Structure 1
């Protein structure tokens, strides 16, 4: 009987970052999981400002993360207006609307370095904007000057709002601070709405550090453990503070910035106050991690 269960021990493969279902799986997983068929998939990229990526092809359900304009992905299946895909940036798997992607490969030259910018139809700030592009959206410029970059797919963005794809922010904690006041949104990755792990991932990517999407992945894979006393002495700017299902970034030895469902926005508060409040729910700090950076893949 074909059950779709991994041939490894149960639970060995995380479905969030491995494309497999009982009826279909990525070709790279052949011999690893059981499926009725395996496909290599086709390259594609996002053509909308932001696109919800969902566990199921159902717009009435919430979403797990967002794909940003210009981001690359692999399409494994299209059916009834939905595509089952895997994002290149962090490997997340899910469903998005077929009309939000285009087939092919892009070669980004820049990325959006501000919280957001507008894509205009002409190199003129008074021209009608086509769409809003969020921070970290990869873009391919075919020409430009000190005022505007013209994109390969058409449209213009203000040149100072973009950075060459290999130039990164020096301080990812400062990037996180820019989002203060942004509404909390489960699955969000932009200044329109963002969640705790989305804030960490976005800030780290802007700083040239690749990061997985969810807080449990971030705790397991980012940086090294920092041991501090019970009074939380010895913390430094940029340290990541983890609870089960939550994460924040230290701005100094006392204050933490985090997107949270208590304030329902990105807020700064003393770590000690946040820890006491969260402890009342039965959750305690599970790890403190300190990072070093690497260049991310688009």
Structure 2
């Protein structure tokens, strides 16, 4: 069986050493661990600035680097969801220090000082991870300094990694309403349908794969009766190449390429529109936690 190249790092000339014996390649390497050191960076299908964006990696996510080119590209695999592709080498930083906190706000900023009046030096999206240390307070607002003191973030916008996850992933997804649709996007500035599902479930403590077809195979369990079954809040509705989240049995929340935004609409309207385009629901799955 051919391994999925989205989730397995192999090419004819180079492959992950963990795949030795499963794939053929001229050379196998272990790869080096690094972290994303910028707010977010595109994961591209080829080492070119005009290549298609398949996904994005967020600040603090750990990646395994198998190759870096003289042109400034790195062939990586993201540990968050095993996604493989090319990122700009200058988006990478050292693997240590390890993150201590995650961003829980839809988006926030890194300031050069513990003061909101300073112009921010970076923007971060929900799910980004940071190594934070010393606290500071300015005019009643509490900040946490990055471990290397290169900047500070608003303390109420982050949570320690060991703190409890969000109790309702649908409520997390609802916070993305009106965010622009962006193919391959994975931030609160723009995201696609499967990223909305992935980021929301991750905030609730459930890591899931990146793409729609992968999620349809891996997330939760099928709902009896499919779309004609007894539906409830949090069920995932899948079409070929698309997924949405039920806010309630009659309302679909999704990052829609038709609307070019995250929208909430009657489920019956979405079903009719997809059916008119020749696409029927392929599955309804219910995520399971714990």
Q: TM-score, normalised by structure 2?
A: 0.95
2:151 counterpart residue number:
155
In the alignment, which of 232, 236, 240 is matched to residue 236 of structure 1? 232
2:193 counterpart residue number:
196
SS of 1:129 mapped into structure 2: coil
2:202 counterpart residue number:
205
158-167 vs 20-29, which deviates more?
158-167
Q: Which runs of 5+ in 1 are unaligned?
A: 1-8
Runs of 4 or more off by more than 4 Å in structure 1?
none
Instruction: Give the deviation of 1:16 after TM superposition.
Output: 0.1
1-structure distance, mates of 2:16, 2:135: 39
Contact 1:51/1:68 (8 A) holds in 2 = yes
In the alignment, which of 80, 87, 112 is matched to residue 96 of structure 1? 87
Instruction: Give the deviation of 1:109 after TM superposition.
Output: 1.1
2-structure distance, mates of 1:137, 1:118: 11
Equivalences for residues 164-203 of structure 1 within 5 A: 164-166=160-162, 167-203=164-200
Aligned length: 283
2:260 counterpart residue number:
264
1-structure distance, mates of 2:287, 2:238: 13
In the alignment, which of 30, 33, 55 is matched to residue 65 of structure 1? 55
In the alignment, which of 21, 26, 46 is matched to residue 36 of structure 2? 46
Q: TM-score, normalised by structure 1?
A: 0.92
Instruction: Give the deviation of 1:233 after TM superposition.
Output: 5.4
Q: Which runs of 5+ in 2 are unaligned?
A: none
Cα deviation code 1:29-72 (max 9, x no counterpart): 11111111110000101111110001101111220000011111
Cα deviation code 1:242-284 (max 9, x no counterpart): 0010000000111010001111100001111101100111110
SS of 1:293 mapped into structure 2: coil
Contact 1:19/1:93 (8 A) holds in 2 = yes
Instruction: Give the deviation of 1:145 after TM superposition.
Output: 5.1
2-structure distance, mates of 1:76, 1:152: 27
1:222 counterpart residue number:
219
2-structure distance, mates of 1:279, 1:108: 45
Instruction: Give the deviation of 1:122 after TM superposition.
Output: 0.4
Instruction: Give the deviation of 1:103 after TM superposition.
Output: 3.1
1:35 counterpart residue number:
25
Relative to structure 1, is the Cα distance of residues 190 and 184 closer, same or farther in structure 2, using a 3 angstrom cutoff?
same
